[in-house]
């Protein structure tokens, strides 16, 4: 893997246990000694757009993030030297942050983001964020992806370095992106009660949603 050429990569997750699961409105500030780093915020920040959320002081670099809507109490922070691919989908900024040596599956991730937005906004309702971000993290942290509000950390192991060239392979990269995008509706808009069966509203419906998007994979 090529993460050794990065200053660091940090993933922090807070698991939404049944006890603490609830929605929040939040503002966050991160300080770093790194001169050249990229920190995707947990959700859209108007401050970021205005370029006033990032500044340097006393040799440190600071980032200000602000949730512009109430969201599930469930967020992550990642920081590393990334290459970023960007596209626009009907005013929503699509971004994939990745290691410069792992570009192979980025186009299929972008395609899945767009197909997910097409299907979900047509069938489930509007997308609540102004950005949809996929952010690579090293397999030393884990082999999973997870849907936070507007941001989806995605392990290099199951996405960015996955080899899908065999014609019989199921496109799991495309599928997992669609699943995590499904959580933007199922878990981040429809939040289950603190009781047995709550994950039907998150995992089961995210799986169903991803299968619907998979049907569009060949189109």
Chain positions contacting Zn ion, by CB under 5 A: 203, 206
Indicate the residue among 78 and 210 with the shorter CB distance to Zn ion. 210
Q: Which residues contact 216 (CB under 8 A, 6 or more apart)?
A: 115, 118, 119
Whole-angstrom Cα distance, residue 115 to residue 48?
26
Question: Rounded to an integer, what distance in angstroms lies between the CA atom of residue 126 and that of residue 156?
Answer: 29
Rounded to the nearest whole angstrom, what is the least distance from the CB of residue 40 to Zn ion in the complex? 19
5 versus 199: smaller Cβ distance to Zn ion: 199
- Kindly state the smallest distance separating residue 19's Cβ from Zn ion, in Å: 20
34 vs 175, which CB is nearer to Zn ion?
175
In the complex with Zn ion, which residue's Cβ is closer, 74 or 98?
74
Which alpha helices (H) appear in the chain, and where do they start and end? 46-49, 106-123, 172-182, 203-214
Query: Residue 64 has which token pair?
Result: 């200000």
Backbone torsions φ then ψ of 175, nearest 5 degrees: -65, -45
Q: In whole angstroms, what is the distance from residue 176 CA to residue 181 CA?
A: 8
Nearer to Zn ion, 83 or 141 (CB): 141
Distance of closest approach, residue 203 Cβ to Zn ion, in angstroms: 5
Instruction: Say what the alpha-carbon torsion angle 16, 79, 6, 153 is, to the nearest 10 degrees.
Output: 50
Instruction: Give min distance, CB of 147 to Zn ion, in A.
Output: 6
Min. distance of Cβ 145 from Zn ion in angstroms? 8
């Amino acid at each position: 893997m090529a993460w050794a050429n990065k200053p660091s990569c940090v993933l922090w997750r807070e698991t939404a246990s049944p006890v603490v699961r609830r929605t929040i409105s939040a503002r966050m500030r991160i300080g770093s000694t790194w001169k050249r780093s990229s920190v995707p915020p947990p959700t859209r920040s108007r401050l970021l757009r205005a370029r006033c959320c990032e500044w340097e002081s006393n040799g440190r670099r600071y980032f200000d993030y602000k949730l512009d809507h109430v969201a599930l109490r469930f967020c992550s922070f990642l920081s590393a030297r990334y290459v970023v691919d960007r596209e626009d989908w009907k005013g929503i900024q699509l971004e994939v942050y990745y290691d410069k040596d792992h570009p192979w599956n980025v186009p299929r991730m972008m395609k899945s983001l767009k197909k997910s937005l097409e299907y979900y906004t047509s069938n489930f309702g509007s997308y609540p964020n102004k950005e949809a971000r996929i952010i690579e993290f090293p397999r030393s942290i884990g082999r999973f992806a997870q849907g936070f509000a507007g941001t989806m950390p995605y392990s290099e192991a199951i996405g960015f370095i996955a080899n899908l060239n065999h014609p019989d392979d199921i496109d799991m990269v495309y599928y997992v992106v669609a699943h995590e995008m499904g959580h933007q509706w199922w878990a981040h808009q429809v939040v289950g009660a603190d009781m047995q069966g709550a994950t039907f509203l998150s995992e089961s419906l995210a799986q169903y949603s991803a299968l619907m998007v998979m049907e569009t994979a060949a189109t």
